[in-house]
């Protein structure tokens, strides 16, 4: 077959299988097996795939951090510690409608930094925050946009599972990737906060009951231990005192200590969190193995060369190539999860970007870290982009009939615009990342 036709057929077949409902990992691995047989690749290529699976997934110590961070977040969620922090922040900051919106953002950041699990963050924020937001007079669309966007910060703010996977695929230090994502995450929080305050500053002040008026001490008791845990985990990684794998173990143990501090430690809660962490990790590893098979065969049939040559043929220079890549990732985010996009595209696109000169003085790891964080913010945008944004499904599932689909879609549009503005700023000013 033609060197062009074969990789195109492979990509179309895989995407078609995913859209038809085939499990992503099975679609990736199955497509690899089929195209080994129909191409001129030797059957010995199967041996190469096995060795790559072992090297990329089964013996990769960095990936040990994935189940530990997931477990840490699940313990905090299932024990009620995260819920207590949200209520404490609402009590301290919720005297005004604007303060209530800021409290939702604050807890969104804490949930993001303590779990990295978008589904858990969106559902928890929706269940606890939506009644108060509606009581404060928030329009349904604004409530939906704020809750979905705040919960989606979990995919970007370290320690994020997505950043671990991206750093592994781009072959850059995960500590540097975590450090690079901190400022972009805070920029988004500021953008969200300013927009929320602008929309709600005229709403009347909320009435607070006596037990809600706890002040600063109440906020420290409810939120302080969670903030301390996040600072210890992230601080040890960014400063180099611990590897991400070591810090993830500290975070998991610290989450258990916090549940004991609040008197909420139960063996059943820990076991439930452990079971869910195993299931989530198994899903991630299954996709990693499938993507390893796919990428090996896709490169074998010339797919990486086809993509690289077409990107470089844009003809308008490195920035045009980058815009095309970001647009491609944004569009694929409508139908694919971040994990598939990261595992399939990053090994192909990373070397392409590494060979470009953007005139901003970046090269080597610094260039790839800048690119990786841009991709991370872009993928976060896909979580809230209609009609297939995952956070929108999580939100609708959590609130049932309290918010209709049209309100959810209208509500996220301004936040999508803020996301795109942030991407533009990060592209124009790389030092915000580095």
Report pLDDT digits (tens) over 63-92: 777 777 778 877 877 777 776 776 676 666
pLDDT of residue 62: 66
SS3 (DSSP) at 151: helix
pLDDT of residue 263: 81
The model's pTM: 0.74
Contacts 24+ apart (CB under 8 A), 206-214: 206/94, 206/95, 206/96, 206/97, 206/100, 206/135, 206/136, 208/91, 208/94, 208/95, 211/91, 212/90, 212/91, 212/94, 213/91, 214/88, 214/91, 214/92
| Structural element, H or E, at residue 97 | helix 97-114
Residues 66, 56: Cα–Cα separation, whole Å:
14
Instruction: Please determine, for residue 394, whether its predicted confidence score (pLDDT) is greater than 50.
Output: yes
pLDDT of residue 93: 61
Instruction: Please determine, for residue 251, whether its predicted confidence score (pLDDT) is greater than 70.
Output: yes
Residues 42, 170: Cα–Cα separation, whole Å:
28
Backbone angles phi, psi at 215, to 5 degrees: 70, -160
Mean pLDDT in the chain? 77
Q: Render 13-47 in DSSP notation, one character per residue.
A: HHHHHHHTT--HHHHHHHHHHHHHHHSS--TTHHH
pLDDT category of residue 1 using cuts at 50, 70 and 90: very low
Residues 6, 26: Cα–Cα separation, whole Å:
20
Contact 114, 82 (CB under 8 A): yes
Tokens, residue 263: 């008197």
As a whole-number percent, the residues of the chain with pLDDT over 70 amount to 82
Residues 178, 433: Cα–Cα separation, whole Å:
10
Per-residue pLDDT tens over the stretch 336-388: 667 777 777 887 788 888 877 777 777 778 888 888 888 888 888 877 877 66
Over range 387-404, report the average pLDDT: 70
Per-residue pLDDT tens over the stretch 211-246: 455 556 666 777 777 778 877 877 777 777 877 777
Per-residue pLDDT tens over the stretch 137-195: 778 888 888 888 887 887 777 777 778 778 888 888 888 888 888 888 888 888 888 88
Looking up tokens 């924020």, which residue turns up? 125
DSSP 206: P
pLDDT of residue 426: 86
Per-residue pLDDT tens over the stretch 298-329: 777 777 677 766 766 665 678 888 888 888 88
DSSP 389: -
Over range 255-271, report the average pLDDT: 84
Contact 127, 151 (CB under 8 A): no
pLDDT of residue 144: 82
pLDDT of residue 179: 82
Instruction: Please determine, for residue 115, whether its predicted confidence score (pLDDT) is greater than 60.
Output: no
């Amino acid at each position: 077959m033609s060197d062009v036709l074969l990789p195109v057929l492979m990509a179309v077949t895989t995407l078609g299988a995913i859209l038809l409902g085939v499990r992503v990992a099975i679609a990736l691995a199955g497509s690899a097996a089929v195209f080994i047989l129909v191409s001129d690749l030797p059957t010995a290529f199967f041996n190469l795939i096995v060795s790559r699976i072992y090297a990329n997934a089964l013996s990769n110590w960095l990936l040990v951090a994935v189940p530990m961070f997931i477990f840490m977040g699940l313990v905090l969620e299932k024990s009620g510690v995260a819920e207590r922090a949200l209520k404490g922040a609402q009590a301290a900051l919720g005297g005004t409608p604007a303060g209530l919106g800021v409290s939702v953002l604050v807890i969104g950041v804490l949930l993001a930094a303590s779990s990295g699990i978008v589904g858990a963050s969106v559902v928890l924020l929706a269940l606890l925050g939506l009644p108060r937001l509606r009581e404060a007079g928030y329009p349904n669309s604004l409530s939906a946009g704020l809750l979905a966007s705040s919960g989606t910060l979990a995919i970007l703010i370290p320690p994020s599972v997505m950043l671990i996977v991206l750093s592994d695929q781009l072959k850059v230090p995960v500590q540097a990737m975590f450090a690079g994502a901190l400022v972009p995450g805070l920029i988004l929080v500021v953008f969200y906060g300013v927009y929320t305050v602008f929309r709600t500053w005229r709403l009347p002040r909320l009435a607070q009951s006596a037990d809600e008026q706890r002040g600063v001490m109440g906020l420290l008791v409810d939120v302080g231990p969670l903030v301390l845990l996040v600072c210890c985990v992230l601080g040890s990684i960014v400063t180099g005192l611990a590897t991400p794998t070591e810090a993830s173990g500290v975070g998991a143990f610290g989450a258990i200590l916090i549940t004991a501090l609040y008197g909420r430690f139960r063996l059943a809660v820990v076991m439930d969190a452990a079971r869910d962490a195993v299931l989530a990790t198994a899903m991630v590893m299954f996709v990693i193995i499938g993507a390893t098979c796919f990428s090996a065969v896709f490169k074998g049939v010339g797919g990486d060369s086809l993509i690289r040559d077409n990107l470089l043929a844009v003809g308008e220079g490195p920035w045009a190539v980058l815009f095309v890549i970001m647009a491609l990732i944004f569009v694929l985010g409508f139908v694919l999860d971040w994990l598939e996009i990261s595992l399939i595209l990053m090994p192909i696109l990373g070397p392409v970007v590494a060979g470009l000169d953007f005139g901003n003085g970046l090269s080597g790891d610094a260039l790839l870290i800048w690119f990786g964080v841009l991709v991370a913010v872009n993928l976060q945008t896909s979580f809230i982009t209609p009609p297939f944004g995952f956070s929108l499904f999580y939100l609708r599932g959590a609130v049932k009939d309290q918010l209709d689909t049209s309100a959810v879609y209208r509500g996220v549009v301004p936040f999508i615009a803020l996301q795109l503005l942030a991407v533009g700023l990060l592209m124009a000013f790389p030092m915000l990342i580095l």
